[in-house]
Structure 1
Amino acid sequence: MIHNIYNLTTNDNTRLFFQVWQPAVPPKAVICLVHGIGEHSSRYHDWAEQFVEKNIAVLSYDQRGHGLSDGKRGVIQSYEKLMDDIDFALKEVKKHFEDTPCFLYGHSMGGGEVLNHLITRKSNYLGVIVASPWIVTQAAPPKIAMSFLRVLANLFPSFSIKTSFDAKMLSHNKEVCIKYDEDELVHHMVSFRLFVDAYDAGYGVLQNPDKVKKPLLLLHGTDDQITDSNASKIFSEGIKDCCTFIQYDKAYHELHNEFCHQEVFTDIINWLDALLAKKQANYLEYDNF
């Protein structure tokens, strides 16, 4: 396996930390992975290695305000900047793997971002994989409180607070939870603007399933205490033809670190391989390929 790490500067002068895991031979596909809130791309090292073993490259980056990238922890200028960063990463995929089929993959808040990118922007990725997306968060406050938070987001957009987050909600695997708590690059900060924008973006996704025009694999654990698996189910039911929704009984938030991780990986590989086969047979009929 070849593993490269480097920094790139975006159009708004933000330095983002990138890394690429790839096989020694030309890969059959490449995944562009967007991580969740508070974490960073290196937490996916073992997961990326599994894809490399299947001749699939993985490119990921630390989101702004996260990990080794620039920005105040948990702070964004706007949600559109996050969309721009996905575009930036997809261009980087194109540089490294020009003619290789690309899949966009997001987890948690990154999953919500990927779904928003799917319904609001055009790109040439072949399909989308989303795990435990922030469509609706389990910690969503009452609507009257959201009105107050919107005011605070406008007045103090960069003001951030520390969340009361319990790592035990991530996985049944105690070692995963301990490593998360001990990880110096993990943070628990969220700004008013980030929370409000992500909240609104999630409901924007929920209201627009008809705008999904590419193959989507949507994965969620039934016992996720962080994001709402029922919201994922409702969203998937509104999509015609091109969505595969899989629920994992009793699973928590981080499916790639759960007791069912091998089943999750197999489901992803089978879905991805089926799409690659259809593409090779010129059978795909979805938009923007």
Structure 2
Amino acid sequence: MADSREHTFTGTRGAITVREWPKEGPRYVVLLVHGYGEHMGRYEHVADSLVEHGAAVFGPDHMGHGKSEGERVFVDDFEDVVTDVRAVEELTRAAHPGVPVVLIGHSMGGLIASRYAQRYGSGLAALVLSGPVIGTWEVLRVLLAAPKPPEVPLDPTLLSRDPAVGAAYAADPLVWHGPFKRPTMEAFDRTLETIAKEGGIGPLPLLWVHGDDDRIVPLPGSRTGIDVFHGPDWTERVYPGARHEVFNETNKDEVLADVRRFVDRVLAR
């Protein structure tokens, strides 16, 4: 397991904790953007794979998530989260000037990373989206139509075919196990509209990875967003039978190998 350390900075809504997996003289830097209700501690094996591949890896716990400050899972404007991620990119560039930066976002992190690419994509080498909330997310329509969000947590069995993943998620004290919060859901809705309105990412290389049995962020809805978002250099990898967290799936080694090959191709240009 790669060594890691933590940094803290003042974000838009309070203190943000950043996890760094260092690499001396890295070929590239990875900026990891996690999903709803979770935290960067769940990405140790992803970081290990990327560090071994030659990357230095950085990732923040978003406001209201993990070890960062803020009301749990409360986000009233994802533009603020994007701004916080930008501060982390500036931290990486201070540590590794001139090194190409690859942005990887999962689920809600895919929403954040997509908007980030629209705002700051000219400075990125590549973008990877995993099960991204982009396009049409029918789950959100159901949540917003309800008089109040259901008092149930996310079903951990929908994360992966590996039952150990769901069990670890359910037992993790840094994971949010309570209901969705309406202001956060409304912020999701506004950001989806903003991404659709702002359009594509031009020449920025994109890798989109998704499980075809993802019932949290179903594949068809994300495709509607990807179709209008990607530029001419993009790659799609859909994994048969895989659920929402493809980085935690039974074929995670295949998924991470696809990410490494994509990065190799981009860096070789």
Q: Verify: 1:202 aligned to 2:192, yes or no.
A: yes
- What SS class does the counterpart of residue 123 from structure 2 fall into? coil
1:264 counterpart residue number: 255
Q: Which runs of 5+ in 1 are unaligned?
A: 150-159, 279-289
Amino acid at match of 1:112: L
**Pair 162,22 (structure 1): closer, same or farther in 2 beyond 3 Å:** farther
Q: Which runs of 5+ in 2 are unaligned?
A: none
1:71 counterpart residue number: 70
User: Cα offset for 1:62?
Assistant: 0.6
**Pair 116,214 (structure 1): closer, same or farther in 2 beyond 3 Å:** same
Amino acid at match of 1:174: P
Deviations 1:146-186 (A, max 9, x none): 8x88xxxxxxxxxx875432100000111111000000000
2:219 to 229, 238, 241: 229
User: Cα offset for 1:19?
Assistant: 1.2
**Pair 263,208 (structure 1): closer, same or farther in 2 beyond 3 Å:** farther
Superposition TM-score, scaled by structure 2 size: 0.90
Query: Quick one: distance in 1 between partners of 2:78 and 2:158?
Result: 26
Q: Verify: 1:6 aligned to 2:13, yes or no.
A: no
Q: Is the 8 A contact 1:219 1:245 kept in 2?
A: yes
**Pair 101,211 (structure 1): closer, same or farther in 2 beyond 3 Å:** closer
Superposition TM-score, scaled by structure 1 size: 0.84
1:46-195 correspondence runs (5 A)? 46-135=45-134, 136-141=136-141, 145=145, 162-189=151-178, 190-195=180-185
1:252 counterpart residue number: 243
Cα root mean square deviation, aligned: 2.2
**Pair 120,55 (structure 1): closer, same or farther in 2 beyond 3 Å:** closer
1:20 counterpart residue number: 20
- What SS class does the counterpart of residue 97 from structure 2 fall into? coil
Q: Is the 8 A contact 1:119 1:212 kept in 2?
A: no
Amino acid at match of 1:250: G
Q: Is the 8 A contact 1:63 1:69 kept in 2?
A: yes
- What SS class does the counterpart of residue 4 from structure 2 fall into? strand
Q: Is the 8 A contact 1:6 1:19 kept in 2?
A: yes
Query: How many pairs are equivalent?
Result: 265
Higher gyration radius (CA): 1
**Pair 13,241 (structure 1): closer, same or farther in 2 beyond 3 Å:** closer
- What SS class does the counterpart of residue 59 from structure 2 fall into? strand
Query: Quick one: distance in 1 between partners of 2:231 and 2:67?
Result: 39
Amino acid at match of 2:159: L
